[in-house]
Amino acid sequence: MKNTSLLLLAIVACAAAIPTSVMLSLDTVNNQGQLSDPAKLRLQFKNLKSGGVRGIMIDVWWGLVEQQPKTYVWTPYRQLFEMARDVGLNAQPVMSFHRCGGNVGDTCDIPLPKWVRDIGQQNKNIWYQDQHHNIDDEYLSCGIDNLPLLQGRTAVQVYTDFMTDFATVMADLMPSTIDEIQVGLGPAGEMRYPSYQLSKWTYCGIGGFQSYDAYLMTELASAAKSANHTEWGMSGGPNNAGDYNSRPSGTGFFSSGTDNVHSAYGMFYGNWYAQRMIQHGREILTAASSIFAPKKVGIAAKVSGIHWWYGSDHHAAEMTAGYYNTNSVDAYYEIAKMLKEVGGTFDFTCLEMFDQVGAGCQSRAEQLVVQTRKAAVQAGIPYSGENALQMCTSGGCDQYGFNQIVKQSTFLGNIKQFTFLRLTDDMFTNQNIWNSFKGFVATMASKN
């Protein structure tokens, strides 16, 4: 505790102004592999720079870049990064190894490369699967991280090859323009399992465990055998945890019974499920660090803000996503420790949200952000933030949300940076929105 207190004092003492970046539209590079509107984008970049914005974040879609194995087309991204350089904006590319479409806020349909999907047609076990063996084709299962099932390459090798070629092609832009890479580690680019797919889930269902493909089931069986409980690995996961839209009280696993989340089995499975995801992140981020650190470019990983059922003792929605945050385990400190190992930044969402006491879903977004901030401080790693939902509409911006972001970004010393979701035409055509946004950027920049 003493060391943590000293670290907190050091962070406060060294606090610097908080720079703001802006996420670009998901389809900035369209399905034809071209910038959607270069002239408009160039003008928007100039406006952002004039408004005090530091940089932009852009999804670099695997499905668009590597349409043939080991053949990479970076042309539109190179064009975009040069455009950012020319107006003085920094760029944070996201290595987006997931599909666009099917998550909150998705406005495009960019699947994984066809050659990968063709493999999935023959072997559905390359995808995450729920207890009914329904597949989710938005991200490869971590069960194939080290299996050469992708035309002779493992998933980790495929991701590493992609990042290596990116670093080669963009080398002259690093680190002057491209100074950090966010590495996608799951659906929506977040390090989690696809536990709440919009095609099956509605708020505030607990979600579904995703450990039922053949490769993860084999790993689970091996772990259970090592724990001297072979029976724990026979089903691939709990058989009483409900389904995507269940409430905790309607399940045995998250309410009562001998095999619930607090039982010996529940603790074994919850820890294995979470640590398997963390190991997935560790392997890919280790590769990313080896590629980008020599170029003085940082790496970051995004953690999802699963705030519903946070106010309960079981943290059901977090657990199905891979965040084992119960039984005296701090899920986010476990992640922060891994990020410390690889030299990564902890990037978290929902900084604009408040606790929703009495709303029926035990949502505690504000408390969740506090826990993640403390985890990063304790581990001694940088922390960046984002808002989870669009904050500006034709009627104006959510000033209460902006104030909440400022509060959450400064209470343990200043965060490393904030990325605003998302660039829209309204930011420049609606003066109220533009003035509100500029005011927010200026406020964050003044926190030093």
pLDDT digits (tens, 9 = 90+) for 300-319: 999 999 999 999 999 999 99
- Mean pLDDT of all residues belonging to the chain: 94
Kindly report the pTM of this predicted structure: 0.95
Domain boundaries defined on the chain: 2-445
> Which of 190, 283, 352, 366 is flagged as catalytic?
190
* Per-residue pLDDT at 15: 62
pLDDT digits (tens, 9 = 90+) for 168-194: 999 999 999 999 999 999 999 999 999
Based on the residue annotation, tell me whether 318 is a catalytic residue of this protein: no
C-alpha–C-alpha distance, residues 254 and 242, integer Å: 9
Report the DSSP beta bridge partners of residue 68.
71
- Helix (H/G/I), strand (E/B), else coil: 298: strand
Instruction: Indicate if the alpha-carbon torsion angle 212, 218, 223, 229 is positive or negative.
Output: positive
Ramachandran bin of 228, using left for φ above 0, alpha for ψ from -120 to 50, beta for the remaining angles: left
Q: Is the pLDDT of residue 12 over 90?
A: no
pLDDT digits (tens, 9 = 90+) for 382-402: 999 999 999 998 888 999 999
pLDDT digits (tens, 9 = 90+) for 78-94: 999 999 999 999 999 99
pLDDT digits (tens, 9 = 90+) for 281-299: 999 999 999 999 999 999 9
Q: Determine the average pLDDT of the residues in 109-127.
A: 97
- Do residues 66 and 72 touch, judged by C-beta distance below 8 A? yes
pLDDT digits (tens, 9 = 90+) for 199-243: 999 999 999 999 999 999 999 999 999 999 999 999 999 999 999
Structural tokens at position 209: 């465990």
Q: Is the pLDDT of residue 2 over 60?
A: no
* Per-residue pLDDT at 5: 46
Give the pLDDT band (50/70/90) at residue 10.
very low
* Per-residue pLDDT at 257: 73
- Do residues 147 and 154 touch, judged by C-beta distance below 8 A? yes
Q: Which of 123, 129, 159 is nearest to 141 (CA)?
A: 129
pLDDT digits (tens, 9 = 90+) for 303-361: 999 999 999 999 999 999 999 999 999 999 999 999 999 999 999 999 999 999 877 89
Q: Is the pLDDT of residue 13 over 50?
A: no
* Per-residue pLDDT at 393: 87
* Per-residue pLDDT at 259: 76
> Which of 66, 180, 283, 386 is flagged as catalytic?
386
Structural tokens at position 106: 């998705």
* Per-residue pLDDT at 383: 98
Which distant-in-sequence residues (6+ apart) come within 8 Å of 442 by Cβ?
52
* Per-residue pLDDT at 418: 98
Rounded to a whole number of angstroms, the distance between the first and last alpha carbons of the chain is: 26
* Per-residue pLDDT at 104: 66
* Per-residue pLDDT at 353: 97
Helices (H), 88-170: 114-122, 155-169
Fold held by 2-445: TIM Barrel (3.20.20)
Q: Is the pLDDT of residue 8 over 90?
A: no
Based on the residue annotation, tell me whether 386 is a catalytic residue of this protein: yes
* Per-residue pLDDT at 101: 78
* Per-residue pLDDT at 409: 98
* Per-residue pLDDT at 1: 41
Structural tokens at position 2: 């003493």
